[in-house]
Structure 1
Amino acid sequence: MKEGGTAAGAVHIEDIEPRVFKVLLRFMYTDSLPEMEEEDVMCQHLLVAADRYNLERLKLICEEKLCRHISVGTVWNILPLADQHHCDGLTKACFDFLGSLANLSAVVASDGFKHLCEDVAPLLMEELVVTLALPGSHA
């Protein structure tokens, strides 16, 4: 397909890095992902692209991989991403991680906690507090 008005038939796709789009195309044609450096970062980008292009299987794969990368340093990036893109399993995994007093204490002491509470997802923080205060309330 040739887009009118583009130089040399190039199609410009905004809001996605070329390396992420390359992996997205590979998945679409082969139903597989390559070995990736910084897998957690790439999966965050791929999850956004999979949601945008309605690639549910890729979205689920990314969600599963990101569940393995939840840590004190990543949970505040992964949790709002999971919420924004309606990844209930990933949101639950983040909440489960934060259900540990040691993990929660370490995260609260970090800069990411303040940023998330104030700027990113105050309603998500309210849900987290309710979930932690009432065990079993988040299925």
Structure 2
Amino acid sequence: MHLHLGRLLAGGDGTDVTFEVAGETVAAHSYILAARSPVFMAQLFGPMKEKSMACVRIEDMEARVFRALLHFVYSDSLPEIEHDDDNNYDEEEDVDDKIAVVQHLLVAADRYGLDRLKLLSEHKLCSCIDTSNVGTVLALAEQHGCNGLKKACFKFLMLGSNLKEAVATDGFQHLGDRCPSILRELLAL
């Protein structure tokens, strides 16, 4: 069934709602969105229904993240992460960019009540933790109630010199500013 729904999204046949996301328009099927997400249900059919369902503006999200979210809604799987439009990537920047997209996808999943997508994103991030991103990933885990991801970050920080290296990163500074209680938890370990 997910294969057929994926084709429906890709083909664009029968779409009845358009989203404007970061200057791009993305067409979808309101009933499929509403069936998968309580937030889309309320936004498209409930009391907080958009005045004009013809075009719904999505704020604070990249178009590729929204497309990835739609891919999940229709196929129940994570998509291949799109590259940013910049063609001058090196491999390390590409990996960092993909991790950032998964982080944004986790936030979007939380925003739209897509618990399975949130868990899949959390699982993906657990396998990508390193000293350069553990601070931002840990802040994300704390802000969005991802206990498994938080535990994975703590476990990573307790290995070897990871904590010492991570503390020197901007992401860890961000963690201290956004989630000071996490630092207290780390000190208690």
Please state which band the TM-score falls in when normalised by the shorter chain: 0.7 to 0.9
How many correspondences in the alignment? 128
CA–CA distance in structure 2, aligned partners of residues 68 and 105 of structure 1? 20
Question: Could you say what the CA RMSD is over the residues aligned between the two structures, in angstroms?
Answer: 1.8
**Structure 1 partner of 2:23:** none
- C-alpha distance in structure 2 between counterparts of 1:112 and 1:45, whole Å: 15
| TM-aligned CA distance change 1:5 to 1:109, over 3 Å | closer
Q: Provide, for residues 3-56 of structure 1, a one-character-per-residue CA deviation record: whole Å limited to 9, x for no partner.
A: 5458xx321111221111111011101112222253311110010011111111
Q: Which residue of 2 aligns with 1:22?
A: 67
* 1:36-55 → structure 2 map (5 Å cutoff): 36=81, 37=83, 38-55=97-114
Q: Which residue of 1 aligns with 2:168?
A: 109
Greater shift, 37-46 or 121-130, is seen at 37-46
TM-score by length of 1: 0.83
What is the CA–CA distance in structure 2 between the aligned matches of 1:5 and 1:115, rounded to whole Å?
A: 38
Tell me the residue number matched to 1:128. Answer: 186
Greater percentage in strand: 2
Bigger CA radius of gyration: 2
Residue identity in the other structure for 1:31: D
**Residue identity in the other structure for 2:158:** G
The 2-side partners of 1:112 and 1:29 are apart by 33
- Alignment TM-score, normalising by the size of structure 2: 0.62
**Structure 1 vs Structure 2: percent identity of aligned residues?**
52
Contact 2:136–2:172 (8 Å) recurs in 1? no
Partner of 2:57: 12
